[in-house]
A and B are shown apart, each in its own frame.
Chain A
Amino acid sequence: MAHDGTDSVRVHGLNNTWPGRTAPNWTGLPSQSADSSLDADWNDPADRRPLIIRWTGWRLRLLVLCALLGCVATAMLVRALIAAPHIDASWRADSQGRIELAASADPALQPYVGHALLGIAGGDVSVALIDALALQRSPRWVIGDGARARQQLVRDQLTEALAAGHVKLFFADGSQVAVSTVPHGIANLPLIFWLLSAFGLALYMVAAAVLIAHPISRNVIYAVMAVCQSGNLLLIAVEAALEFGLPPHAGRLSMPVHMAFDLITAAAMVNATCLHPRRLPGSGWIAVLGWAVALGLIGSTAVGALPHVWWWTQGAVIMLGLMAIGLLSWSYHIEPHPFAILLRRFGIVTAATWGLLTAALAAADQLQGVPHNIADIGSMIWYVFLGSLLLLIPFLARSQNFMREFALLAAISTVATSLDLLFVAVFGLSQFAALTLSLFVSLGVYTGARHWVLSQTLGSSMLTTERMFEQLYRIAREVEAQPERASTLLSQLLGNLFEPLEVNVVEMRTHKTRVAGDGSSMLVPVPTLGHDTTASRAVMIRFAQRGRRLFSSEDARLTDRIVEQLRRAVHFDMAVEQGRSEERLRLAQDLHDDIGARLLTLMYKAQSPEMEDYVRHTLQDLKTLTRGLAASNHRLSHAAAEWKSDLTHRLSAAHVELKWAFAIDNDILLTVVHWSALTRILRELVSNAIAHAQAQQLEVDFRLENDRIDLTITDDGVGRNPRAWSHGLGLGGVRKRVKQLGGEVEWREVSPHGIRCRVVIRDLSKAR
């Protein structure tokens, strides 16, 4: 389907394929799924990008339904949360790893701010809190299996104690405080809960939109990843809202659910890289392997058969992540799609931060109180980072600036996270101090680096702008001279601008520049320049900056503006040229009509044949002059045909036989100067032979070899001793014109009688 209308034409002299690769034959072959989907994209304009599909009918209804479902689920979650029993106080871990009262609105508790909590008793349950484990947000990030079981036990007891309505708090200084629990209340939900759940919802909506817009396998995989991460974020939000963990039945599920989300995301990532940006050989088996690892681990955890679950999960995720990175490298090696490089960069950052987080947690496991900070904050930041990457992917090819800013921001937040972890783990700073310090440092880095990066990119593009303008006007002139080369020249311009790996001219009608193939390709319509009416062509460039960059909609707009500028420049040049030639034509017409008519009258009234001939020659020179003015250039073979016909005409009238020999190795275009000079040289020499030599035969031999004209005119007349000739107007004119062309002329006697005149013009093209 797609390939009937897209015969691609490789442009000569351009880098059609990437260097060092011997098999560029995948271009345009229908067997390649990536290519055919690309072409399908182009052939069906309603179907180009998932997110500019018309959102009407069933799509819109489905999307609204998804949004409603998400909102209702969140609302129910909030409702359940605000009903949960709660002590009106906030807690934190102190430096010895105990739970410390951070703040409270309850007047009974306020004197104890800064005191460590040792136990809680409520109903008939009393819980001893020997460390801050109970405070740790999620069992997912508790390393040891034993510690996790203990945390679960403590939380079960705490929930039971809180459920009684009245609790007694035992502080480290021995004092006891009795307080009543209150429902959580909507106002007491922390800000982080709202932020995280909003973010989770957004991610879920994007996943739904992508899936509904274009329900194909790779979008399904994307949706799976996005929904898993959305679930992770929502779960984190809920856990962050409840200080002492989820209710027992949900708390027990927290670890396996988190883990399942992580593993499914990782396996889906492997599966996605098998399919996108191109389907890899053996992709099915690789995907199955990924899913088998993930599902096997989830299954064995669910039945409780797996010891050291945390280590297994971390290890499996990082293994799958590295696998995805390897697959992307492989994919890039097969086809240099910039998307692969971009995804690989994201993958490396994500995997590296994951590894860092794991290492930091493992290292800090021994320290008192520290792991819970790293586990809470580090993991939360990591999930937010991954979520925003996922959120970004569908929009990657849309905006270069947006992406640049995001990339910077992501890099800086990674730095901030790492610094925070480092400060906490190694220097033992308190959580707040570490966070503040790392935020300050990273903001400083961000401000500085952003300026530097932007000035860097702007500076380089300013340079290319200058070069581009130069090229634009050069091309405009060339196009004006040869309109049929417009597409080739435009390809060159685009090639220099974007440094693509492939530039092809395709037969396709398009009105505006389009980005296709997820930003790997751009289709630029060849404007109708000059009088060329073939508007149905386009230049397809693929893999910008040698396959390292995606085309964005800004690139398309820039290209449109460049093409428009080119069109204007050509039109302007053409208008100037047209004005010039009209002016010349008018001048020629006036000269011809006025002076010509007068000379004709003069010729008819001439008293003597000499005078008549003189005026005739003047008239002919005038005609040559005006014709030279009117026409811009003459093809050598055409000019020669006219010379021959003209000479035949004149010589036969004078009863002289003409022997004409004409041999050229290149049928060049003579400029006006060349044409009129050669015409007049030839005419003058022949006139001379007719008038003075009384010849029977005239031999004209015209040769053009290696840019050198060799013209010999030999008569068999009575002329002798050419050195003694007085060079009147005629022969003087010949000398002058030959010199004007940078050539030489000489006359020589030939035996038995006659004169040979030889004109040699070397380096004809230089004399232009």
Chain B
Amino acid sequence: MPVKVLIVEDNPVARSFLTRVVRESFSDALVITEAGDLETARRQIGPHREGVQAADPFKLILVDLELPDGNGMELLAELGQYPATKIVTTLYSDDDHLFPALQCGADGYLLKEDRFEVLVEELQKIVRGQPPLSPAIARRLLTHFRPAPVGGAAASGPMPLASGFQSSRPVPMGRGAPLDHERLTPRESEVLTYLSKGFTIKEIASLMGIKWFTVNDHIKSIYKKLNVSSRAEAAVLASKQGLV
């Protein structure tokens, strides 16, 4: 049974390039469906909600972020429970664009300007469960999972005596204590900190005295927590706004 792949990309040249990358990456028999915009993509995917598994779902979905009828992130958000590896393909390598995509449930990202061989390798890695994590995104993740700072007082001005009154103040906890999925384990934070400083997985493994795969597992777990926490956040937001 062939593996179904969906490529959502508006530029035909880039689409055929990505098709080549996908074909090169896997030895399985592939059925590659191409979509030029979000609407076509949605039609191809069909109804998938309410836990009903489509008979023959896509195993791999590549989504461009900039599409003529919207942003690829919308599709990613809709496909929250869809059992496919979802990958963002984009020209934007900065965290401002990539971080929201990861929050929407992307399993990794590919930079479209990379060489063919690099793209093939990266794609294989993501499918194997070795998603990339750039220093900028690692930094964003660290601030995302860090508990909110205590007011603004800690950061403002030189204050040698500050500790005296800060301790007397209650820490503002808007949402109560963070849940498990909103917290990183110490190891995960450590990995993230190293990543944010530009260390490679190999270097981190040797620095922390753990196996390469363990570091990679931490990264995967961070990805998952990011997606779960943002989904939980969205649910909280939605219930607050009376949408649910």
Q: Are A and B interaction partners?
A: yes
| Assembly CA distance A488 to B160 (angstroms) | 13
What are the interface flags for A480-498 relative to B under an 8 Å C-beta threshold, 1 for contact and 0 otherwise? 0001111110000000000
Residues of A within 8 A of B162 (CB): 9
Q: Are A653 and B91 in contact (CB under 8 A)?
A: no
A582 part of interface (Cβ distance < 8 Å) = no
B126 interface residue, CB < 8 Å from A? no
**For the complex, would chain B's binding face be called helix, strand, loop or mixed by DSSP majority?**
loop
Contact A592 B200 (CB under 8 A): no
Partner of B152, one of A533, A630, A648: A533
Mask, A573-603, CB within 8 Å of B = 1, is: 0000000000000000000110011001101
Identify A604's interface contact among B13, B91, B139, B197, CB under 8 A.
B13
Q: Which of A67-75, A217-225, A232-240, A635-643 contacts B (4 or more CB under 8 A)?
A: A635-643
Residues of B within 8 A of A487 (CB): 156-157
Q: Is B136 an interface residue (CB 8 A)?
A: yes
CA distance A649 to B117 in the complex (A): 12
B contact residues around A640 at 8 Å (CB): 198
Chain A residues lying within 8 Å of B212, measured Cβ to Cβ, are none
A746 is an interface residue with CB less than 8 A from chain B: no
* Interface size grouping (class) on chain A: 35 or more
Is B91 a contact partner of A623 (Cβ separation < 8 A)? yes
- In the complex, which residue of chain B has the Cβ closest to the Cβ of A627? B94
Judge if A532 is at the interface, Cβ distance under 8 Å. Answer: yes
Q: Is B244 an interface residue (CB 8 A)?
A: no
Contact B115 A7 (CB under 8 A): no
**Choice from B91, B134, B152, B164 contacting A7 with Cβ under 8 Å:** B164
Task: Tell me whether A450 is interfacial, beta carbon within 8 Å.
Answer: no
- Cα of A619 to Cα of B113 in the assembled complex, Å: 8
Produce 1/0 per residue, A613-635, CB < 8 A to B. 00010011001000100100000
Q: For the complex, what is the distance from the CA of A532 to the CA of B158, rounded to whole Å?
A: 15
Are B135 and A642 interface neighbours, CB within 8 A? yes
Cβ of B92: which chain A residues have Cβ within 8 Å of it?
A: 592
List of A residues within 8 angstroms of B164 by Cβ: 7
CA A355 to CA B40, docked complex, whole Å: 105
Given known contacts A7-B164, A597-B91, A638-B139, is B115 in contact with A645 (CB within 8 Å)?
no
B121 at the interface (CB under 8 A from A): yes
B112 CB contacts on chain A under 8 angstroms: 600
Contact B165 A603 (CB under 8 A): no
Instruction: Find B11's partner among A12, A597, A645 (CB 8 Å cutoff).
Output: A597
- Cβ-based interface call for B177 (8 A): no
Q: In chain B, residues 190-213, which have Cβ atoms closer than 8 Å to a Cβ of chain A?
A: 196-200
Complex interface bits, A193-217 against B, C-beta within 8 A gives 1, otherwise 0: 0000000000000000000000000
Q: Are B94 and A600 in contact (CB under 8 A)?
A: no
Which of these, B14, B66, B121, B136, contacts A601 with CB under 8 Å? B14
Residue of B nearest to A534 (CB): B152
Q: A167: CB under 8 A from chain B? A: no
Query: Does A35 sit at the interface, judged by CB under 8 A?
Result: no
B94, B113, B199 pick with most chain A CB within 10 angstroms: B113
* Per-residue A-contact encoding for B160-185, CB less than 8 Å = 1, 0 else: 11101100000000000000000000
Give complex CA distance A7, B165 in Å.
7
Which residue on chain A has the smallest CB distance to residue B153? A534
CB < 8 Å: which of A12, A532, A623 contacts B156? Answer: A532
Do B135 and A7 have beta carbons less than 8 Å apart?
no
CA distance A593 to B196 in the complex (A): 27
CB within 8 Å of A: which B90-111 residues: 91-94
Residues of B within 8 A of A648 (CB): 198, 200
How far, in angstroms, from A109 to B213 measured CA to CA in the complex? 129
**Complex-state Cα separation, A507 to B113, whole angstroms:** 53
A569 contacts the other chain (Cβ, under 8 Å)?
no
Task: Determine whether A505 belongs to the interface, using a CB cutoff of 8 Å to chain B.
Answer: yes
The CA of A12 and the CA of B161, in the complex, are separated in Å by 12
Interface centre among A507, A620, A641 (most CB of B within 10 A): A641
Chain A residues with CB under 8 A of B135: 638, 641-642, 644-645
Chain B nearest CB, measured from A734 CB (Å): 21
| Beta-carbon contact of B134 and A642 below 8 Å | yes
Closest CB in chain B relative to A71 CB, distance in Å: 54
CB of A738 to closest CB in B, whole Å: 23
In the bound assembly, the distance between CA atoms of A485 and B151 in angstroms comes to 15
B17 proximal to A (CB < 8 A): yes
Q: How far is the CA of A624 from the CA of B165 in the complex (A)?
A: 45
User: When the two chains form their complex, are residues A9 and B198 in contact, meaning their CB atoms are under 8 A apart?
Assistant: no
Does B93 lie within 8 Å of A623, measured CB to CB? yes
- Among A533, A600, A627, A645, chain B packs the most CB atoms within 10 A around the CB of A645
Known: A487-B157, A627-B94. A644 touches B198 (CB 8 A): yes
Asked if A605 CB lies within 8 Å of chain B CBs, one says yes
Nearest-neighbor residue (CB-CB) of B136 within chain A: A642
CB distance from B124 to the nearest CB of A (A): 13
A312 CB to closest chain B CB (Å) equals 57
Q: Kindly list chain A residues whose C-beta atoms are within 8 Å of the C-beta of B94.
A: 627, 630
The reply to whether the CB of B159 lies closer than 8 angstroms to some CB of chain A is: yes
A643 near B198 with CB under 8 A, answer yes
B134 with A645: CB separation less than 8 A: yes
> CB-defined interface of A1-30 with B at 8 Å, one 1/0 digit per residue?
000000101111000000000000000000
| Given A593-B66, A623-B91, A645-B198, A605 and B13 contact (CB-CB distance below 8 Å) | yes
Task: Enumerate B113-157 residues with CB–CB distance to A below 8 Å.
Answer: 113-115, 117-118, 121, 134-136, 139, 151-153, 155-157
The answer to whether residues A604 and B200 also contact, given A532-B156, A623-B91, A653-B121 and a CB cut-off of 8 A, is: no
Whether A596 contacts B115 by the Cβ 8 Å rule is no
| Given contacts A593-B66, A643-B198, A653-B117, A507 and B165 within 8 Å (CB-CB) | yes
Interface residues of A in 27-63 (CB under 8 A from B): none
Cα A593 to Cα B112 in complex, Å, equals 13
Look across to chain B and name the residue whose beta carbon is closest to the beta carbon of A593. B66
Measured between alpha carbons, how far is A643 from B200 in the docked complex, in Å?
12
A747 nearest CB across to chain B (Å): 26
Residues of chain A within 8 A (CB-CB) of B11 are 597, 600-601
Contact A9 B156 (CB under 8 A): no
Q: Is A604 touching B198 in the complex (CB atoms < 8 A)?
A: no
Closest chain-A Cβ to B173's Cβ sits at a distance in Å of 17
Q: Which residue of A lies closest to B139 (CB)?
A: A638
Interface contact A596-B91, CB-CB below 8 Å: yes
A616 to B117, CA, bound (A): 14
Known A7-B164, A9-B162; judge A603-B113 contact (CB<8 A). yes
Binary contact readout A242-268 vs B (1 if CB under 8 angstroms, 0 otherwise)? 000000000000000000000000000
Q: Which residues of A contact B115 (CB under 8 A)?
A: 612, 616, 653
The minimal Cβ–Cβ distance linking B206 to chain A, given in whole angstroms, is 14
Report A478 CB to chain B, min CB distance, Å: 12
Bound complex: CA A420 to CA B51 (Å):
108
B197 touches A641 (CB 8 A): yes
Distance between Cα atoms of A643 and B151 in the complex (Å)? 33
Assembled-state Cα–Cα distance A597/B160 (Å) = 53
With known contacts A7-B165, A638-B135, A653-B118, A485–B198 Cβ distance under 8 A: no
Chain B residues with a Cβ under 8 A of chain A: 11, 13-14, 17, 66, 91-94, 112-115, 117-118, 121, 134-136, 139, 151-153, 155-162, 164-165, 196-200
20 A-B pairs in the complex with CB atoms less than 8 angstroms apart: A11-B158, A484-B156, A505-B157, A507-B165, A533-B152, A534-B151, A534-B152, A534-B153, A593-B66, A600-B11, A600-B91, A601-B11, A604-B17, A619-B91, A623-B91, A630-B94, A637-B197, A653-B115, A653-B118, A660-B198
- 15 further contact pairs, Cβ within 8 A, besides A9-B162, A645-B198: A10-B161, A11-B158, A485-B156, A485-B157, A487-B156, A532-B152, A592-B92, A600-B14, A600-B112, A627-B94, A638-B136, A638-B139, A638-B196, A642-B135, A653-B114
